[in-house]
Chains A and B, each alone.
Chain A
Amino acid sequence: MKLPKAVHKELYYKMLLTREFEQTAAKLFIQGKVHGTAHFCIGEEATGVGVCSALEKEDLITQTHRGHNQGIGKNMDINRMMAEFLGKETGYCKGKGGCMHIADFSVGSLGANGVVAGGMPIATGAALAQKYRKSEHITVCFFGDGAANEGAFHESLNLASVWKLPVLFVCTNNQYGMSTSIKKSMNIEDISIRATSYGIKGIALDGNDVVNIYQETKKAKEHVKEHGPMLMVLNTYRWMGHSKSDAQLYRTKEEVEQWKEQCPIKRHRAYLLENGIFTEKELDAVQQEAADAVRAAVEFAENSPEPKIENIFDDVYAD
């Protein structure tokens, strides 16, 4: 299946936007402009971008704490993402959630989660509502390799399977749960074989191949609508530390360098040039567009007001 040129541009732009967003966010940390923490997905851009770009607006997602690529993939507004990152009133969560809790219900994101596997039962329930209402749409549940060892993983896949719910479970396997290699935390190499225990389909893909992820997600959506849940594992790598305080003593520089050669953005660029889809000049222009958008987002965020303590009780309870 050949993808339309516009889709290629979208994938390339969103991956660049994610990287630009995170590299800029990392700089804001160094400048002392950010109060909390952040978890960067640099090197994993193809996962969230590839999957979410293949969805429709009405399809829902639950995100992980390392999910800027998922949010950008689902067309979240980076101005409001950056504002939330800086804890501003104009942020997605009015400065109360920070980047671990970014959500945009209007584009189908039921939110990022600070708890490993925390979004899995929620995604299952969102899909239950879709099935109950006979919706044509599905829910995509993002989680990491670490979450695959939580009880919530087992309970959610089992429940979704027995009820045949329209949920696509997407495991971003970046090889480490914080500092612990999957070699130490599970006795299998291919996480997708766990699907067998729930009587559902499981596939494992190269998580740095955005074109293939996009295509497989389209197919997976049809499978999920017809047969119920499916487990899709995207094998990738986290270039940065777990969070801003990670000295990365648990892995070698050589290992990181090897994975950097598999950079999803570089690979997509090479593919686009080799196949004559875009010229160097055109791709440079896309890169410039992403950089400009992030610069504007920082400006928006920095010029936004701080939240007021007078509003602290807002939204603890709904009316």
Chain B
Amino acid sequence: MRDITYAQAINEAMSEEMRKDDSIIFLGEDIGVYGGAFGVSRGMIEEFGEERVRDTPISELAITGAAAGAAMNGLRPIVEIMFSDFMTLAMEQLVNQAAKNRFQFGGQGSVPMVLRAPGGSGTGAAEQHSQSLEAWVAHVPGLKVVIPSTPYDAKGLLKSAIRDNNPVVFLEQKLLYRVKGPVPEIEDDYSIPLGVADVKREGKDLTIITYGRMVPRCLTVAERFAEAKEADIEVIDIRTLVPLDKKALIDSAKKTGRVLVVHEACQTGGFGGEIVSTIVESDAFFYLDAPVKRLGGLDVPIPYNPQLEAQVVPTEEKITAALRELL
């Protein structure tokens, strides 16, 4: 194992798969010599050339649809959308075309493509560059949805996403790009299957279910509770929203009897509601010692001012308060 950044892990996953499979091409805005807006694709155009690493016009709809069309005709494209907010511009092709293609044509074809896009707040990018829109895409049958929280998961999950025969929306976290973590050596070709949650910290008193950049934040709070001998908290990272590892959530809820769901996205209509329902509709309901609680972002656009921006998503203080309510 060596320590590399989340961004480097994503770069390695793409590069290693592209070396093995020449049907993989990579499309996006400024992904060539610029290296991508967040530097994720640095060095790739030099290695793979302009035919496979394609700088595109600023045309999110056409890029996404072209990836779908190329996928229907034998390629396995990866698309980078510069900010996940700009998925709004690509939604028609993603939702009406890529997601439905196989079903509506009676299983004649498939659309093996990955749409990568960074989401989340915390960079001062304000309302149109900071959203967490995963619930939108998780709502569409035909799409798979992945949000990794560590470099190890990012690399392993992206490899599976690229090898998957369906359109996969791979939502990265802007604030995690520079975070380092242990990842196996390059020659160790590991991957992580989609649909398997990961217990990031074992505990017995309460379960936090979360994903994305809230994972490290929840772990920090959980450690603090352990140090203070206040509670032993389990932290589960769902890693993929679709498919969702329901069993892992239900089993943990049965074990601890108390559940807090945390995500950065606005609470109303957020994916947390789906997680809560999964638990309370199952037999885990009979094991609960307290109502299942959600902690999402405030139902407001992400503001610019750094103090305001920090306060509209779950903070360590808010997570701590929510845990104490449940314990």
Please tell me if the beta carbons of B73 and A101 are within 8 angstroms of each other in the complex.
no
Residue in B65, B93, B166 whose Cβ sees the most chain A Cβ within 10 Å: B65
Known: A126-B70, A133-B74. A110 touches B61 (CB 8 A): no
B230 at interface, CB cutoff 8 A: no
Residue in B62, B63, B74, B103 whose Cβ sees the most chain A Cβ within 10 Å: B62
Known: A115-B96, A118-B96, A132-B25. A158 touches B69 (CB 8 A): no
Please tell me if the beta carbons of B62 and A156 are within 8 angstroms of each other in the complex.
yes
B276 at interface, CB cutoff 8 A: no
Please tell me if the beta carbons of B142 and A317 are within 8 angstroms of each other in the complex.
yes
A118, B141: Cα distance in complex, Å: 19
Please give, as numbers and ranges, the residues of chain B lying within 8 Å of A121 by CB-CB distance. 61-66, 68-69, 93, 97
B165 at interface, CB cutoff 8 A: yes
In the complex, residue of chain A having the shortest beta-carbon distance to the beta carbon of B62: A155
Please tell me if the beta carbons of B73 and A60 are within 8 angstroms of each other in the complex.
yes
The number of chain B residues with a CB under 8 A from chain A is 43
Please give, as numbers and ranges, the residues of chain A lying within 8 Å of B97 by CB-CB distance. 113, 115, 118, 121-122
A128 at interface, CB cutoff 8 A: yes
In the complex, residue of chain A having the shortest beta-carbon distance to the beta carbon of B71: A125
Contact with B along A112-128 (1 / 0, CB 8 A): 01110010111111111
B305 at interface, CB cutoff 8 A: no
Please tell me if the beta carbons of B70 and A129 are within 8 angstroms of each other in the complex.
yes
Known: A115-B96, A115-B97, A158-B57. A130 touches B105 (CB 8 A): no
In the complex, residue of chain A having the shortest beta-carbon distance to the beta carbon of B59: A155
A115, B295: Cα distance in complex, Å: 38
A103 at interface, CB cutoff 8 A: yes
Please tell me if the beta carbons of A122 and B106 are within 8 angstroms of each other in the complex.
no
Please tell me if the beta carbons of A130 and B73 are within 8 angstroms of each other in the complex.
yes
Contact with A along B50-86 (1 / 0, CB 8 A): 0100101101011111111111111101000000000
Please tell me if the beta carbons of B70 and A128 are within 8 angstroms of each other in the complex.
yes
Query: Least Cβ distance of A43 to chain B in Å?
Result: 27
Q: B14-66: which have CB < 8 Å to A? A: 25, 51, 54, 56-57, 59, 61-66
Please tell me if the beta carbons of A125 and B103 are within 8 angstroms of each other in the complex.
no
B101 at interface, CB cutoff 8 A: yes
Contact with B along A151-165 (1 / 0, CB 8 A): 110011011001100
A306, B93: Cα distance in complex, Å: 30
Known: A92-B105, A132-B51, A152-B65. A159 touches B74 (CB 8 A): no
Please tell me if the beta carbons of A122 and B68 are within 8 angstroms of each other in the complex.
yes
Please tell me if the beta carbons of B106 and A97 are within 8 angstroms of each other in the complex.
yes
Q: A270-319: which have CB < 8 Å to B? A: 314-319
Stretch of B107-115, B126-134, B208-216, B311-319 contacting A (4+ beta carbons < 8 Å): B107-115
Please tell me if the beta carbons of A125 and B105 are within 8 angstroms of each other in the complex.
no
Query: Least Cβ distance of A123 to chain B in Å?
Result: 6
In the complex, residue of chain B having the shortest beta-carbon distance to the beta carbon of A131: B51
Please tell me if the beta carbons of A91 and B106 are within 8 angstroms of each other in the complex.
yes
A151, B64: Cα distance in complex, Å: 13
A93 at interface, CB cutoff 8 A: yes
Please tell me if the beta carbons of A152 and B67 are within 8 angstroms of each other in the complex.
no
A115, B95: Cα distance in complex, Å: 11
In the complex, residue of chain B having the shortest beta-carbon distance to the beta carbon of A89: B106
Known: A115-B92, A162-B57, A316-B141. A124 touches B102 (CB 8 A): no
B307 at interface, CB cutoff 8 A: no
Contact of A132 among B59, B75, B111, B142 (CB under 8 A): B75
Query: Least Cβ distance of B50 to chain A in Å?
Result: 10
A130, B72: Cα distance in complex, Å: 11
Please give, as numbers and ranges, the residues of chain A lying within 8 Å of B74 by CB-CB distance. 129, 133
Please tell me if the beta carbons of B107 and A315 are within 8 angstroms of each other in the complex.
yes
Please tell me if the beta carbons of B70 and A125 are within 8 angstroms of each other in the complex.
yes
Please tell me if the beta carbons of A93 and B106 are within 8 angstroms of each other in the complex.
yes
Please give, as numbers and ranges, the residues of chain A lying within 8 Å of B63 by CB-CB distance. 121, 159
Please give, as numbers and ranges, the residues of chain A lying within 8 Å of B71 by CB-CB distance. 125
Query: Least Cβ distance of B147 to chain A in Å?
Result: 19
Query: Least Cβ distance of A143 to chain B in Å?
Result: 13
In the complex, residue of chain B having the shortest beta-carbon distance to the beta carbon of A151: B61
Given contacts A125-B77, A152-B93, 13 further A-B contacts (CB under 8 A): A92-B106, A111-B104, A122-B66, A124-B65, A125-B67, A125-B70, A152-B65, A159-B57, A159-B62, A316-B103, A316-B141, A318-B107, A318-B111
Chain B residues near A (Cβ < 8 Å): 25, 51, 54, 56-57, 59, 61-75, 77, 92-93, 96-97, 101-112, 141-142, 144, 165-166
Q: List 16 A-B contacts (CB under 8 A).
A: A92-B108, A93-B106, A96-B106, A105-B109, A121-B68, A121-B69, A129-B73, A132-B25, A132-B70, A151-B61, A155-B62, A159-B62, A162-B57, A315-B103, A316-B141, A316-B142
